[in-house]
Structures are given as C-alpha cells and as structure tokens.
Homo-oligomer: A and B are copies of this chain.
C-alpha cells in the first residue's frame, strides 16, 4: 500500500510473501493473499515474478542469505572458538520469538517430491548449512569436521522443530549443552 520509495516494489512483494509463507505455510498462502497483503495488483506481482514457484525459491534464498550473513558476521567478530560462536549464534536465531522454523526444512516437507525445484533448493541449503558448520569445525581443530558438522546440524534442526512445537521447552539450552559434549568429544 504505502508507496515504496526506499525499497523497490520487487523487494516489497518478496518481503510480504516471505512473511506469509513463514507464518501460514507455503501451500496455504495463495497469490491473492500476497497481493492483498502487499496492497498491489496481481499483475504487478506477475511483472516481477514469473510464477509462485519463483517467489518461493527466492524466499528460500533470502532466508538462507540472512542466516548465512548473520553467522558470518558473528564468526568474523570472534576468530577463536569458532564452533562455540556458531552454535550460540544459531541457537539465538532459533530462540527469537519471531523464528518460524528453518524455511528450507518447511519447504522440503511441503514439497516432498524430488522432482520439484523447491525440494531441490531446500536440500541444497541444508547442505550449505552443514558445510558452514564443517568449516568452523575444521578451523577449530576438530579431527573429523564433517562428522561433527553432521551431528551438530542434527541437533540444530531438531532444536528448531522442538522449539517451534513448544516454546520455552528448554530444547535450546539442552541442545547447547549436548553440542558442548559432542564438540569436546570430537576434539
């Protein structure tokens, strides 16, 4: 509705769509809802995005970029103890009341067929997160960084689901503690 002088129309649409996808689910969010919420005409949406699928893919991309950027900022600010820094950053990310789950996990569940582009992109981003963890593990002197990265990512994804299902269940703190145990066992 409000004239988008600062941010471009395209960004505005993507932002509104991302919000709806995250809170209501992707399949449950119709294009008409996005258009109404953004206060624009449907034609405008289809001028910037050729299909709903493209909108979904860019939504996943954006969330991945945000997560990745947040992690890198924290890692750059704290060169030693990379692994602990990363775990803390991710757990804070999950603890945020605005957190609605990792988008790539939700998208993977909503698009279970391997042929779907959304499914493929989701898998890519899950692996990218693991790779980032593995790099931190390697720089922290872990012997087998890929294995630890896999284990930590299981904890992280599990914690994200558990915290969503029951806010304040303690999943985050217990995940943090478990991560500490696994890390020291891998050193």
Residues on A facing B (Cβ under 8 Å):
23-25, 27-28, 100-101, 105-106, 108-113, 122-123, 126-127, 147, 150-151, 153-159, 161-162, 164-166, 169-171, 174-175, 177-178, 181-182, 185
Copies of this protein in the assembly total 2
Q: Point out the residue from B123, B151, B162, B175 that lies within 8 Å of A174, measured CB to CB.
A: B151
Q: Point out the residue from B23, B27, B156, B169 that lies within 8 Å of A27, measured CB to CB.
A: B27
Q: Is the CB of A112 within 8 A of B25?
A: yes
- CB neighbours (8 Å) of A162 from chain B are 126, 150, 153-154, 157
- CB neighbours (8 Å) of A151 from chain B are 155, 174-175, 177-178
Least Cβ distance of A20 to chain B in Å? 11
**Pairs of residues from A and B, 8 with the lowest C-beta to C-beta distance, nearest first:** A154-B158, A158-B158, A109-B109, A151-B178, A157-B158, A150-B174, A181-B185, A27-B27
CA–CA, A113 and B24, complex, Å: 7
Q: Is the CB of A159 within 8 A of B154?
A: yes
Q: Is the CB of B25 within 8 A of A110?
A: yes
- CB neighbours (8 Å) of A113 from chain B are 24
Q: Is the CB of B153 within 8 A of A108?
A: no
23 sampled A-B residue pairs with Cβ under 8 A: A23-B112, A25-B111, A100-B112, A101-B112, A105-B161, A106-B109, A108-B161, A108-B164, A108-B165, A109-B109, A126-B162, A150-B170, A150-B174, A154-B158, A154-B174, A154-B175, A155-B155, A155-B178, A156-B158, A157-B157, A157-B158, A157-B161, A181-B181
